[in-house]
Amino acid sequence: MNNIKKLFFSVVSATIFLAACAMQPPAAKNVGNVEDVPTPVQQSLPIIAENTEKVISRGAIADNTPSIKVALLVPLSRESAAIGKSMADAASLALYDTYLNAPSDQIRAQIMLIPKDTGNTPAENVAAAKQAIAQGASFVIGPLFSQSVSIIAPVLKEQNIGMLSFSNNKAVAAANVYTFGFMPEQQVARVAEFAYLNKYQRVAMLAPNDAYGEKVRDTLAEIYLKNGGIIAPAELYAPSATNIEAAVSRIASVYNNMPEDRRFQAIFVADGGNQMRIIVKALNKYHIDLKKIKLISAGLPNDEEMLKIPELQGAWFPSSPINSYFAFERRFTKTYGYKPARLASLAYDATAIIAKIAMKGEGVNASALTNASGFLDTANGLVRLNADGKSDRKLAIVEVTAQGLKVIDAAPSSFSE
């Protein structure tokens, strides 16, 4: 056992307070490097493989291992600071997990993560990107918002630097500019196809009167019309209790004035949080019985309290595999002492994917990123990046029950399914 190698990882505190808050080491043990800073603190952690005569130091990074600098662009100040901090912590945890689980002879390069605050103005976005480039970043994870992607993309293109953004807006996707967020179109298509095949062929829709609501409406129409289904009525509302109640009253009027064999059988709702509570209250007021009418959410719910609303029992929604996500959530909470924002799982996955590519020592390039088989060992299940910058995800269908969430149609485990 004298040849046991030890794992040395430097955890570097950031020069600015907000970045320092964002990059706390997981369980007092971090991996990879977080660069921006003065004083490194080193730790040794011996790792021994079980059931083998040869000792393998999993995660050990040799002193002469080259590094690849990767920028993490997230909001670390102002109103989105809590989300950004959660995402930065998740990225740090992903580095730890990825390198810890890799045999030392497979680690040919390591990531040096450079966190940067994107702020909330175009100038701050550009400044964050330029600072990361000046510090040697050859790839970018983030930013979070599609507006930031549009602002930063030209800066990165000048330097031929790729970006794995957290945006879910396919309009900003392009070659070398990848959108990694949960695409509304994919979520709606998944649950709409499942609903139609399960005999919910006449449906109503409630959605906010914004770009997201329009995407939900258009995707739902595409799926249902091509299969001969019916969407009526379809209501878009401005985000206020008065407008939501008015929209519900209109669909209730249509329902009550239709012969029973022509009434809608389900309601697609493209909203959550307090709006969902208002919708449920209005449905009750206008005598729409959710024990008879299936409620279907068009996207992943992000409000645990919403799932406790009695009327939502039996509701369906599309989701990444819940076991994978909850495993990530438990690990994150145990490590950092607080529950992650839902979007933090995207930062974990993106960082883990880039780290796995980087450790091969061949650089982070389009060929590696657009692997046709995709990436499976993530917090959100199977995902694939395409040459045009868009991403594909395999989603499950989940039902809300009194006992908790129940998977009623599992996510496929490969893109050939």
The Cα–Cα gap between 89 and 71 comes to: 14
Domain co-membership, 91 together with 106: yes
State phi, psi for 68 to the nearest 5 degrees.
Answer: -120, 120
Q: Residue 415: inside a domain, yes or no?
A: no
| Average pLDDT for 283-308 | 86
Q: What is the dihedral of CA 175, 181, 186, 188, to 10 degrees?
A: -150
Q: Which domain, by its residues, includes 61?
A: 6-181+324-393
Q: Is the pLDDT of residue 415 over 60?
A: yes
H or E element that contains 222: helix 211-227
State the pLDDT at residue 385: 97
The Cα–Cα gap between 217 and 224 comes to: 11
Assign 3-state DSSP to the chain and report helix, strand, coil percentages, each to 5.
40, 20, 40
Q: Is the pLDDT of residue 12 over 60?
A: no
- pLDDT 10s digits, 44-63: 222 222 232 333 335 567 77
State the pLDDT at residue 95: 92
**Exposure of 91 by Cβ count < 10 A (0-12 exposed, 13-18 middle, 19+ buried)?**
buried
Domain co-membership, 199 together with 89: no
- Residue 366 sits in a domain of what CATH number? 3.40.50.2300
Cβ–Cβ < 8 Å for 61, 358 = no
State the pLDDT at residue 58: 53
- Residue 92: CB atoms within 10 A of its CB come to 28
Residue whose tokens read 């490590």: 335
Q: Is the pLDDT of residue 288 over 60?
A: yes
Q: Is the pLDDT of residue 339 over 90?
A: yes
| Average pLDDT for 192-221 | 95
| Average pLDDT for 95-104 | 88
Long-range pairs of 368-376 with CB within 8 A, sequence gap ≥ 24: 369/162, 369/164, 369/178, 372/415, 373/414, 373/415, 374/415, 375/349, 376/413
Q: Residue 405: inside a domain, yes or no?
A: no
Residue whose tokens read 């309601």: 267
The Cα–Cα gap between 93 and 235 comes to: 42
State the pLDDT at residue 285: 95
The answer to whether the pTM exceeds 0.75 is yes
Domain co-membership, 291 together with 374: no
Domain co-membership, 198 together with 267: yes
H or E element that contains 127: helix 122-134
State the pLDDT confidence band at 104, using cuts at 50, 70 and 90: confident
State phi, psi for 169 to the nearest 5 degrees.
Answer: -105, 105
Q: Residue 79: inside a domain, yes or no?
A: yes
| Average pLDDT for 412-416 | 89
**Exposure of 174 by Cβ count < 10 A (0-12 exposed, 13-18 middle, 19+ buried)?**
middle
Q: Residue 411: inside a domain, yes or no?
A: no
Q: How many domains does the chain have?
A: 2
Q: What average pLDDT does the structure give for the chain?
A: 84
The Cα–Cα gap between 338 and 348 comes to: 16
% of the chain residues with pLDDT over 90: 71
Cβ–Cβ < 8 Å for 183, 393 = yes
Q: Residue 269: inside a domain, yes or no?
A: yes
* DSSP symbol at 24: P
% of the chain residues with pLDDT over 70: 85
Last residue of a domain, one of 319, 344, 369: 319
Higher-confidence position of 270 and 4? 270
State the pLDDT at residue 303: 67
Last residue of a domain, one of 319, 345, 366: 319
| Average pLDDT for 171-185 | 96
